[in-house]
């Protein structure tokens, strides 16, 4: 009996990190708003310290998550939390459903604003984003992983060009910013810790890609790489942003502010395309996690995976529900008050059990494959 060919090093070591980046980047990261919120208050070098701290936290939690998931063969969040929380896994499912609803509401609104700048109605951007997410999520893991890979090429390339253009246009201002100390009263530690905690749920969302891990060594390497891969664009963007401290910290869309300083209309359009692509991969990742959880239950009950039309129908129904409810009930207005609170609830259900129960059971060999089913 022939053995299956081993997975490529790309799928084993790099794809998890690219997938993690795909989930955490979202609209706030891509536009620079989250960077301005959590990193800029500490100044140039303080922001670098906050970025380094957030990167280290992401890598550490990804390593722990990948090790536990591989040992228990947990390829979706339901299976993973049956290991960590037992019957309490349903608490995470409820929290994650609310999290995704808020996330997609934000992404839909952001996509609408991007398209609105071209003269089209905002609804056109929202519908285009929904159609893109449904199209990729319907075809399962392979299509989603290809999306993560190719959008990563676009994203890293655009940020690299952004950095080069910024250095050539106002590199003297960047150098001057790094020559100064951090503003008094603003802690780099708090900023890095808050930002890392706010986004670490991405490690759970990408559990389907951990099926490529062939060993614990793969899990450790992939998890360690995930942090830097996810934070590299933020680092490049942050370096550009420090040129206009402190004023840029108050900009609603720091990316637009910087693009106006560059005066490159064609690159401005390319950057908007990149932001839309970031929204697409983040939204697809969040929805795909739900699809995979449903697909696992479907296979166990029916002995076969759900069809592409069924996946598409589930995805569209979920997207329509999120967008309609967000618009009718006013969830977008509630995000400012409830988004972080919900994130901390997710952390309480995830990080604490992972770093205690999860790692203890892993170390003592108590994560039997298949127990999470």
Q: What is the DSSP string of 139-201?
A: THHHHHHHHHHHHHHHHHHHHHHHHHHHHHHHHHHHHHHHTSPPPTT--HHHHHHHHHHHHTT
Contacts of residue 287, Cβ cutoff 8 Å, sequence gap at least 6: 100, 104, 133, 137, 315, 318, 319
Residue 151 has pLDDT above 60, yes or no: yes
278 occurs within a structural domain:
yes
State mean pLDDT over 279-301: 85
Query: Is there a contact between 204 and 350 (Cβ–Cβ < 8 Å)?
Result: yes
Q: Is 334's pLDDT higher than 90? A: no
Domain of 349, in residue numbers? 9-360
CA–CA separation, 370 and 373 (whole Å): 6
Residue 130 near residue 326 (C-beta atoms within 8 A): no
Mean pLDDT of 223-233: 96
170 pLDDT band (50/70/90 cuts)? very high
Q: How confident is the model at residue 8 (pLDDT cuts 50, 70, 90)?
A: confident
Q: For residue 368, is it within any domain?
A: no
We report the CATH number of the domain holding residue 53 as 1.20.1740.10
Domain membership flag for residue 369:
no
- Is residue 307 very low, low, confident or very high in pLDDT (cuts 50, 70, 90)? confident
* Domain contains 317: yes
Instruction: Determine, yes or no, domain membership for 87.
Output: yes
Query: Structure pTM?
Result: 0.87
Indicate whether 197 pLDDT > 50. yes
CB contact burial 213-252 (16+ within 10 A = b; e otherwise): beeeebbbbbbbbbbbbbbbbbbbbbbbbbbbbeebeebe
pLDDT (average), residues 222-250? 92
3 within domain boundaries? no
Candidate from 105-119, 233-247, 329-343 with smallest mean pLDDT: 329-343
Contacts with 127 (C-beta within 8 Å, 6 or more apart), sequence order? none
Is 370 a member of any domain?
no
pLDDT at residue number 188:
87
Supply the pLDDT for residue 329: 53
Residue 212 covered by a domain: yes
The yes-or-no verdict on residue 339 having pLDDT over 70 is: no
Question: What is the predicted pLDDT for the residue at 332?
Answer: 47
Cβ-contact 58, 223 below 8 angstroms: no
Number of separate domains in the chain: 1
């Amino acid at each position: 009996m022939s053995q299956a060919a081993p997975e490529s090093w790309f799928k084993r070591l790099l794809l998890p990190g690219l997938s993690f980046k795909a989930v955490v980047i979202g609209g706030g990261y891509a536009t620079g708003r989250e960077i301005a919120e959590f990193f800029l208050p500490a100044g140039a070098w303080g922001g670098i310290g906050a970025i380094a701290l957030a990167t280290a936290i992401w890598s550490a939690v990804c390593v722990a998550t990948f090790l536990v998931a591989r040992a228990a063969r947990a390829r979706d969040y339901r299976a993973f939390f049956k290991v960590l929380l037992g019957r309490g896994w349903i608490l995470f499912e409820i929290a994650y459903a609310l999290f995704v609803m808020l996330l997609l509401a934000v992404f839909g609104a952001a996509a609408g604003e991007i398209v609105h700048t071209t003269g089209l109605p905002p609804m056109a951007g929202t519908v285009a984003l929904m159609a893109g997410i449904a199209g990729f999520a319907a075809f399962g893991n392979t299509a989603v992983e290809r999306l993560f890979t190719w959008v990563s090429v676009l994203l890293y390339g655009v940020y690299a060009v952004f950095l080069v253009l910024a250095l050539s246009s106002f590199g003297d201002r960047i150098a001057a910013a790094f020559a100064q100390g951090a503003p008094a009263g603003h802690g780099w530690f708090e900023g890095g810790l808050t930002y890392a905690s706010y986004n670490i749920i991405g490690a759970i969302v990408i559990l389907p890609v951990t099926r490529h891990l062939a060993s614990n060594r793969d899990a450790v390497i992939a998890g360690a790489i995930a942090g830097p891969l996810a934070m590299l664009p933020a680092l490049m963007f942050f370096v550009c942003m420090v040129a206009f401290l402190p004023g840029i910290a108050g900009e609603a869309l720091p990316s637009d502010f910087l693009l106006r300083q560059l005066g490159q209309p064609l690159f401005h359009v390319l950057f908007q395309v990149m932001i839309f692509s970031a929204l697409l991969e983040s939204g697809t990742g969040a929805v795909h996690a739900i699809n995979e959880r449903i697909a696992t239950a479907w296979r166990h009950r029916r002995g076969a995976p759900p069809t592409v039309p069924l996946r598409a129908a589930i995805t569209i129904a979920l997207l329509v529900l999120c967008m309609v409810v967000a618009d009718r009930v006013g969830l977008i207005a509630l995000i400012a008050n409830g988004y972080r609170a919900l994130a901390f609830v997710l952390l309480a259900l995830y990080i604490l059990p992972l770093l205690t129960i999860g790692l203890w059971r892993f170390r003592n060999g108590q994560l039997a494959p298949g127990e999470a089913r």
